[in-house]
């Protein structure tokens, strides 16, 4: 009975090596990397996928962007906080062992601040950004501004009237 379970588990592992799935990986590269070296890091990620027989579907080139919150990354023997990072992503098709190996490689890469690898679908799933509609103004049109209030002059108020008004307001 136990031997059957081991044989079935080994068969499942062999099947995983043959089944291809669609994956997407998003990553943040630390901002201290020189801009000309960012492409080399992305090339290493691509090479990891290609070596396992994976194929690419889509890619978002890494761009330096401000992060919503500070992230810490280990640089050398100390932790450094970053408020920016190069964000990029890759969508690819590969087997499960290739995706697992990529996950391990990204965990140990000191230039990758954070990453996320997940299974997805081949179709485009991102929402399209809708451009805001602008109101056209012809050069002959006059843009109306709000009317300005005329300066009001106040009459002098006696101390007695002022005390009475304050008392009425506070007693309500």
Q: How many domains does the chain have?
A: 1
Tens of pLDDT, residue by residue over 78-115, are: 888 999 999 999 999 999 999 999 999 999 999 999 99
Residue 14 lies inside a defined structural domain of this protein: no
Contact 82, 113 (CB under 8 A): yes
Asked whether the predicted pLDDT for residue 29 surpasses 60, the reply is: yes
Here the tokens at position 125 are 């799933």
Tens of pLDDT, residue by residue over 32-72, are: 999 899 999 999 999 999 998 999 998 999 999 999 999 98
Residue 150 lies inside a defined structural domain of this protein: no
**Residue with the two structure tokens 């007695």:** 160
Residue 55 lies inside a defined structural domain of this protein: yes
Which residues constitute the domain of residue 64? 21-119
Here the tokens at position 57 are 């579907």
Asked whether the predicted pLDDT for residue 154 surpasses 90, the reply is: no
Residue 154 lies inside a defined structural domain of this protein: no
User: Which CATH number covers residue 79?
Assistant: 3.30.70.60
Residue 77 lies inside a defined structural domain of this protein: yes
Contact 105, 98 (CB under 8 A): no
Q: Classify residue 98 as exposed, middle or buried by CB count within 10 Å of its CB (0-12, 13-18, 19+).
A: buried
């Amino acid at each position: 009975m136990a031997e059957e379970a081991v044989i079935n588990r080994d068969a499942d592992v062999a099947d995983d090596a043959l089944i291809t799935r669609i994956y997407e990986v998003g990553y943040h590269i630390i901002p201290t990397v020189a801009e000309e070296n960012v492409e080399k890091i992305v090339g290493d990620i691509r090479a990891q996928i290609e070596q396992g027989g994976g194929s690419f579907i889509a890619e978002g080139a890494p761009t330096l962007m401000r992060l919503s919150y500070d992230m810490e990354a280990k640089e050398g023997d100390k932790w450094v906080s970053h408020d920016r990072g190069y964000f990029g992503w890759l969508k690819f098709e590969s087997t499960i062992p290739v995706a697992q190996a990529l996950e391990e490689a990204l965990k140990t890469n000191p230039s990758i601040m954070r990453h996320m690898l997940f299974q997805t679908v081949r179709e485009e799933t991102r929402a399209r950004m809708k451009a805001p509609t602008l109101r056209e103004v012809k050069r002959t049109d006059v843009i109306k501004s709000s009317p300005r209030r005329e300066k009001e002059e106040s009459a002098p108020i006696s101390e007695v009237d002022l005390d009475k008004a304050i008392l009425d307001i506070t007693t309500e």
